[in-house]
Structure 1
Amino acid sequence: MADWTSVSKLSVVLETGEQQCETEADAKGRIGVVISIQPTDDNGNPIEVDATTLNDKTSLIDYVDESEIPLRNASITQDWSYEKASSPEVKKGRTPQLRFEVYHSKDPVHAKAIGVLVTTAKGPSYYSSLNGTYHSSVRIRPVTS
C-alpha cells in the first residue's frame, strides 16, 4: 500500500453546500461543515485512507492567520470551537468527506472565516487558508436578532 504524502483536494463547505451563513449571536450557535480531502501518494495518485486516520489528522483553523480553532470544551467559554464527527465514514471510490460541528459563544464579537489543516501520515501539512496551497473557507457571521 502506498504512503499518504499529499492531498490533491482540500475544501470546506457548510452542510448546506454554501460558503457563508449568518447565525443568531444571542444563542449558542452550532453550524455543520463538511470537509473534502483527497489523499494522494508521492506520485499524486489517489489512495484510500481510513476515516479514523483522516479525522485524527484534520483540524479547523482561522482562514486568515492559520491559528487553531480549539476543540469544544463544554466546561469553559470559547468564542469559537468545534467537534469532530464521532463516527466518520468514507465511501469507497468517492472523495472522502468529514463532518464537523462549529460552535460559537453566546456573544461572539466578530465573524469568523474558517479553513482546514491536514497533516498527512508522512508528516507534510496542507492548509486551506489565505496563504495556504488551497483557498476554500466558510464564513460564519453572528448577527443580533
Structure 2
Amino acid sequence: MSDWMSVSKLSIILVSGDDTCDIYANGWNRIGVMISVAPTDDDGEPVEVDPSHLLNRLWLIDYVTESTLNWKGSSGWCYTDRENEFTAIPGLSGERAEVSFEDGTQRVTFYVYCAPGVSPQSIGVQVRTDTNDVIKSSYNGDFHEKVKLIPRTAVTYKLADVDWDYAHTSTKYGGDKQYVTTDAWNYYLSLKSVENYFVTFSVHDYFTSSGYDGQFSSRIPGDNGRDDFYGGYVWHREPHGSAYYVENDGRSEATIVNFPDGNKWWDYAKIYDRSYPERYLCFSWVHSTTGGNGWHIPNGPLTNWHVWCHPKIVAYDRYGNSGTFWVDGWQTIGGLTLCENRP
C-alpha cells in the first residue's frame, strides 16, 4: 500500500450544509461539523486511510491563529467525536439536507461545543500525514475553508417559562368501588415554547424500592379514621412512556396506592398519556379512600402517617439549556405544587 504523503482536498462545513450558525454557550449544546479530506500518495494518486487512523490525524483549529481547540475539554471552545442529546442548531427551522461530497474523499464528523463567556469562533482544520507533513485549512494555510460559530448566552428557565398542567387519569381498578375508591391526576412539566421543548430530565429525591419507585409523598390524616390516603409520584424513568409501557394493556402505567400488608391493595395509574411523552415529565397525585380499619402502616417505606421528600428536577431543552425546579412533597392533600426554590 502507498504511503499517505499529502491531500488533494481539505474542507470543513457544518453538517447542515451551512458555514455559519449560532451555538448556546452552556457546555452542552453541540454543533456537528463535517471534514472532507482526500489523502494522496507521493505521486498525487488517491490513497485510502483507515477511518480510525484518519480521525487521530485531524484537529480542529482556530482559523486565524491556528491554535487547536480543546479536545473533549471543559473550557473555551471544545470538540469531540460524539454527539449527545443536545446536538442541534439554534434557530434552524425545518430539516436541511446534509452536505454531500465528491467521490474519493473521506469524511470525519466532529461536534463543537463551548463554555460560557467565549467570543465568536472561526474554525479551520489541520491534518498530519503519515510522513508528518502538516496541512491546514486556515487563513495562512494551503486551503481556506472554515465555519463560524456565534455563541448565544445560556438560558436558565424559571416558572414563567414552563407549563404545569394536570388532568384526571384512569387507574386499573378505579371502577371497583367495593373496597377502595381512587382518584388520580397526572401533572405534566413541559417547556412553554412553540419551537423548543425539554428532551431530558434529571430527578432526585424519591423512594426507589420495588413497588414504590417514584413515590415521594404519602399522607394519611387521622380525621377520618385513617381512611384517606394522599400520595405524590414522579415517573422519572427514561425514555418515559416506553419505560413504563405495558404491552398487554396497550398503555403506560405505574404502581400507586401500594398497601400489600394489611389492606392487601395496590393499583396502577395510566401515565404519559400524551403525544411526544419524551418532552414531558409526568407526576401523579392520588387520593384513595378505603373502609374498615383504614390504611395500614407500615407498608414498604411508609413507616409514618406523613412521609415526604421534595423532588429536585433539572429539565434540559434540546440545546442543553436548563431550569431547576422542586415539587412540594409536604403539601400533599391539595395536589402537587411546582416551586422555583426548594420548599
TM (norm. structure 1) is: 0.86
Report the 3-state secondary structure (helix = DSSP H, G, I; strand = E; otherwise coil) of the residue aligned with 1:29: coil
User: Quick check: 2:61–2:67 contact (8 Å CA) kept in 1?
Assistant: yes
Residue of 110, 116, 126 corresponding to 2:135: 126
Report the 3-state secondary structure (helix = DSSP H, G, I; strand = E; otherwise coil) of the residue aligned with 1:54: helix
Matches within 5 A, 1:1-145: 1-25=1-25, 28-73=28-73, 77-85=74-82, 94-105=104-115, 107-144=116-153
Deviations 1:35-78 (CA, angstroms, capped at 9, x unpaired): 000000111111111101100100110000000111113xxx31
Letter in 2 for 1:101: Y
CA distance in 1, matches of 2:133, 2:21: 31
- Residue 17 of structure 1 deviates from its aligned partner by 1.0
CA distance in 2, matches of 1:39, 1:25: 34
Report the 3-state secondary structure (helix = DSSP H, G, I; strand = E; otherwise coil) of the residue aligned with 1:35: strand
User: Quick check: 2:77–2:118 contact (8 Å CA) kept in 1?
Assistant: no
Letter in 2 for 1:103: Y
User: Quick check: 1:10–1:38 contact (8 Å CA) kept in 2?
Assistant: yes
Task: Please report the RMSD computed on the Cα atoms of aligned residues, expressed in angstroms.
Answer: 1.8
Letter in 2 for 1:22: D
Bigger relative contact order (CA 8 A; separation at least 6): 1
CA distance in 2, matches of 1:101, 1:108: 19
- Residue 27 of structure 1 deviates from its aligned partner by 6.5
- Residue 109 of structure 1 deviates from its aligned partner by 3.0
Gaps of 5+ in 2: 84-102, 156-343
CA distance in 2, matches of 1:114, 1:19: 10
User: Quick check: 2:124–2:138 contact (8 Å CA) kept in 1?
Assistant: yes
* More off after superposition, 3-12 vs 135-144: 135-144
What is the percentage of aligned positions where both structures have the same residue? 41
Structure index of larger Rg: 2
User: Quick check: 2:27–2:113 contact (8 Å CA) kept in 1?
Assistant: no
User: Quick check: 1:85–1:98 contact (8 Å CA) kept in 2?
Assistant: no
1:89 alignment counterpart: none
- Residue 132 of structure 1 deviates from its aligned partner by 0.1
- Residue 21 of structure 1 deviates from its aligned partner by 0.3
User: Quick check: 2:122–2:148 contact (8 Å CA) kept in 1?
Assistant: yes
Report the 3-state secondary structure (helix = DSSP H, G, I; strand = E; otherwise coil) of the residue aligned with 2:109: strand
- Residue 29 of structure 1 deviates from its aligned partner by 2.5
